[in-house]
């Protein structure tokens, strides 16, 4: 693959990052790290959505300007992603000058084309969704189904985008490209939504909303959130109707948009129509992930169960985010909801990362030092059966990643670890050493260490720090593509000294992992 471009949704900066935001960013980062292993170039875009009435009201309540609120919370998101090891190429803010200018020109182009027109409108507006809802969108009690609040009745003169003009083309695209929406069962939902689609408001009067990008030809109007926010996927690459950048020409169309299932409508309908109106290629795939519940309960400020990812790191005194990354990226099957609980988190990462994977490497290296002074001898021959399992695991992991099935990819890696642990138990190198069958003992250890190189490589998208620690002890180079992988990874000669052996992940309840007891 020559190049791969993927994006996350941009987060609304009305508050700080919570675990739901973190789930999407971790999921996308894990996918991005996989594609770095099989593409020549990769571009990963994330950022923040910074305009709208909620920002305006929150800032007023706090007695600060909207821009001050945006600066504060955008920086908070950046710091959180840094702690979680989110390795993006660019962080876009919709208050960035280049974005605002490009959005104004996009609006102008669509206005001149006749795809945007002005009209008076009365509708039901949900501040939480930042969109107008129809009566049939509401619950029996007349509430927004997502925010459980009654939308306000708004009457004003706005600009509208001719969404209905592109209805048939969008339906055709979705039906002719069954892999366009991932998971595929979501496509039916979108097609149902398209049946009653109407033209959409793409501006608000400054009498109601002042915090937005002004319409160039009409300073009494500000550009409404969807043209502003959705356009980040192209402006972040340098798109501009008056002349685009090399990055845009190289990376667009996007290979993958990663978004939550609640905003699939806007990405699979509104965004496609905007791109069609701009005569731009459509993204190749949209991945709509599920939500993360807390102890099987939906997150809610009123319930007080909104968790910040940094709180988890601090609570468990984790030196890096690898454990949380692994847990979140394997929390749910593709497109389904996942759950976080402290108990499950602790049990899962201890079992997988410390007991199964970390202990396997640690005890194997310790036996190599104990029995052979850390040296791999030429007469040690790896077991072909277990190496074939490793080879098949590489193919399985690639298969799942190429379908964005991160949970299944993680399970495949752990299945290989379990098979290797069984191989050690069945062959009992400690017994072989006791019986002075040293070549057989050394061959078992070499086999395990060859496999652990593959494990280190495959686990890297989930756990970059743990992977690096494993690779250092194995003298293994992680910087290679999938097609460069070998099953013969451990070379003859001195591999490691006793003092170089250290756990790659300490159990969360370990005395050594508890900094208060050090």
Both tokens assigned to 381: 């021959």
Both tokens assigned to 273: 């129509």
Looking at residue 152, its pLDDT comes to 84
Looking at residue 124, its pLDDT comes to 82
**Per-residue pLDDT at 516 exceeds 70:** no
Q: Judge whether 173 counts as a catalytic residue.
A: no
Average pLDDT, the chain: 94
Average pLDDT over residues 147-151: 80
pLDDT digits 0-9 by tens, 245-258: 999 999 999 999 99
Looking at residue 414, its pLDDT comes to 98
Looking at residue 197, its pLDDT comes to 94
Both tokens assigned to 61: 């309540």
Distance (Å, rounded) from C-alpha 23 to C-alpha 48? 16
Confidence tier at 130 by pLDDT (50, 70, 90): low
Confidence tier at 138 by pLDDT (50, 70, 90): confident
Q: What is the pTM of this model?
A: 0.93
Confidence tier at 412 by pLDDT (50, 70, 90): very high
* Domain residue spans of the chain: 342-517
Q: Judge whether 131 counts as a catalytic residue.
A: no
| Longest Cα separation, the chain | 90
**Per-residue pLDDT at 154 exceeds 60:** yes
Helix (H, G, I), strand (E, B) or coil at 399: helix
Distance (Å, rounded) from C-alpha 31 to C-alpha 34? 5
Q: Judge whether 129 counts as a catalytic residue.
A: yes
Looking at residue 40, its pLDDT comes to 95
Average pLDDT over residues 101-119: 97
Question: Taking CA 272 as the corner, what is the angle to CA 270 and CA 275, rounded to the nearest 5 degrees?
Answer: 110
Alpha-carbon dihedral sign for residues 263, 268, 273, 279: positive
Q: Which of 67, 149, 172, 298 is catalytic?
A: 298
pLDDT digits 0-9 by tens, 465-510: 999 999 999 999 999 999 999 999 999 999 999 999 999 999 998 6
φ/ψ of 287, rounded to 5, equals -100, 115
Confidence tier at 280 by pLDDT (50, 70, 90): very high
Which whole-number Å values give the CA distances from 172 to 167, 189, 200, 293, 474, in the listed order?
A: 9, 15, 20, 35, 52
Kindly state the DSSP code that residue 94 receives in the 8-state scheme: T
Q: Judge whether 298 counts as a catalytic residue.
A: yes
**pLDDT cut 70: percent of the chain above it:** 97
How far, rounded to the nearest angstrom, does the alpha carbon of residue 331 sit from its chain's CA centroid?
12
Average pLDDT over residues 28-54: 97
Task: Tell me the helix, strand and coil percentages in the chain, rounded to 5.
Answer: 50, 15, 35
Comparing 70-79, 126-135, 209-218, 482-491, which segment has the lowest mean pLDDT? 126-135
Closest CA to 386 of 428, 456, 446, 438: 446
Among 147-161, 328-342, 496-510, the range with the most confident prediction by mean pLDDT is 328-342
Average pLDDT over residues 307-325: 96
Confidence tier at 514 by pLDDT (50, 70, 90): very low
Confidence tier at 129 by pLDDT (50, 70, 90): low
Q: Which of 18, 51, 78, 99 is catalytic?
A: 18
Closest CA to 46 of 254, 243, 293: 254
Average pLDDT over residues 216-224: 94
**Per-residue pLDDT at 65 exceeds 60:** yes
Please tell us whether the domain made up of 342-517 is placed in CATH 3.40.605.10: no
**Per-residue pLDDT at 196 exceeds 50:** yes
Comparing 103-112, 121-130, 294-303, 359-368, which segment has the lowest mean pLDDT? 121-130
Q: Which of 301, 515, 517, 518 is catalytic?
A: 301
Q: Judge whether 21 counts as a catalytic residue.
A: yes
Q: Which of 21, 51, 267, 352 is catalytic?
A: 21
**Per-residue pLDDT at 33 exceeds 90:** yes
Cα dihedral 180→183→185→190 (10° resolution): -50
Q: Judge whether 284 counts as a catalytic residue.
A: no
Looking at residue 131, its pLDDT comes to 67
Q: Which residue has the higher pLDDT, 27 or 513?
A: 27
Which whole-number Å values give the CA distances from 200 to 21, 54, 142, in the listed order?
A: 27, 20, 21
481: left (phi over 0), alpha (psi -120 to 50) or beta: beta
Average pLDDT over residues 93-120: 97
Comparing 153-157, 215-219, 311-315, 318-322, which segment has the lowest mean pLDDT? 153-157
Looking at residue 465, its pLDDT comes to 98
Q: Judge whether 463 counts as a catalytic residue.
A: no
Both tokens assigned to 282: 């459509």
Q: Judge whether 147 counts as a catalytic residue.
A: yes
Q: Which of 36, 78, 129, 131 is catalytic?
A: 129
**Per-residue pLDDT at 200 exceeds 80:** yes
Average pLDDT over residues 398-407: 97
Burial class (CB in 10 A: 0-12, 13-18, 19+), 395: exposed
Confidence tier at 452 by pLDDT (50, 70, 90): very high
**Per-residue pLDDT at 155 exceeds 90:** no
CB 164 within 8 A of CB 116: no
Q: Which of 25, 37, 70, 144 is catalytic?
A: 144
Looking at residue 510, its pLDDT comes to 61
**Per-residue pLDDT at 271 exceeds 80:** yes
Average pLDDT over residues 53-75: 96
Q: Which of 67, 82, 113, 147 is catalytic?
A: 147
**In what helix (H) or strand (E) does residue 503 lie, and over which residues does it extend?**
none
Q: Which residue has the higher pLDDT, 122 or 168?
A: 168
């Amino acid at each position: 693959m020559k190049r791969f471009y993927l994006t996350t949704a941009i987060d609304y900066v009305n508050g700080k990052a919570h675990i739901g935001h973190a789930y999407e960013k971790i999921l996308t980062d894990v996918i991005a790290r996989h594609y770095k292993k099989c593409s020549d170039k990769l571009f990963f875009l994330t950022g923040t959505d910074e305009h709208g009435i909620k920002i305006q009201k929150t800032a007023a309540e706090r007695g600060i300007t909207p821009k001050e609120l945006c600066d504060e919370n955008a920086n908070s998101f950046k710091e959180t992603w840094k702690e979680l090891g989110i390795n993006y190429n660019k962080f876009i803010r919709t208050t960035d000058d280049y974005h605002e200018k490009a959005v104004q020109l996009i609006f102008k182009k669509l206005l001149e084309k006749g795809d945007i027109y002005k009209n008076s409108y009365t509708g039901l507006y949900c501040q939480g969704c930042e969109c107008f809802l129809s009566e049939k969108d509401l619950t029996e009690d007349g509430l927004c189904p997502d925010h459980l609040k009654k939308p306000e009745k708004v009457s004003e003169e706005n600009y509208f985008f001719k969404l209905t003009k592109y209805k048939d083309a969008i339906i055709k695209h979705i039906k002719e490209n069954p892999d366009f929406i991932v998971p595929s069962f979501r496509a039916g939902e979108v097609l149902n939504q398209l049946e009653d689609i109407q033209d959409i408001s793409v501006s608000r009067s400054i009498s109601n909303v002042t915090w937005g990008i002004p319409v160039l030809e009409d300073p009494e109007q500000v550009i409404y959130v969807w043209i502003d926010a959705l356009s980040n996927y192209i402006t972040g690459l340098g798109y501009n109707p008056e002349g685009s950048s090399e990055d845009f020409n190289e990376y667009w169309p996007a290979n993958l948009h990663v978004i939550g299932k609640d905003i699939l409508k806007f990405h699979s309908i509104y965004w496609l129509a905007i791109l069609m109106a701009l005569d731009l290629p459509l993204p190749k795939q949209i991945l709509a992930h599920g939500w993360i519940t807390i102890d099987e309960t939906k997150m809610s400020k009123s319930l007080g169960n909104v968790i910040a990812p940094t709180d988890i790191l601090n609570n468990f005194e984790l030196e890096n985010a690898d454990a949380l990354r692994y847990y979140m990226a394997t929390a749910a099957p593709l497109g389904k909801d996942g759950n976080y609980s402290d108990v499950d988190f602790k049990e899962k990462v201890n079992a997988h990362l410390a007991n199964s994977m970390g202990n396997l490497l640690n005890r194997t290296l310790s036996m190599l030092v104990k029995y052979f002074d850390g040296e791999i001898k030429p007469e040690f021959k790896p077991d072909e059966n277990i190496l074939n399992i490793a080879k098949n695991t590489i193919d399985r992991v690639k298969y799942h990643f190429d379908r964005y099935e991160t949970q299944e990819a993680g399970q495949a890696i752990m299945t290989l670890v379990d098979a290797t642990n069984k191989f050690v138990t069945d062959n009992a190198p400690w017994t072989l050493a006791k019986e002075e069958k040293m070549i057989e003992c050394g061959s078992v250890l070499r086999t395990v260490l060859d496999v652990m190189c593959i494990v280190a490589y495959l686990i890297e998208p989930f756990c970059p720090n743990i992977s690096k620690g494993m690779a250092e002890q194995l003298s293994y180079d992680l910087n290679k593509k999938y097609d460069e992988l070998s099953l013969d990874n451990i070379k003859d000669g001195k591999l490691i000294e006793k003092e170089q052996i250290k756990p790659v992940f300490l159990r969360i309840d370990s005395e050594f992992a508890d900094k208060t007891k050090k």
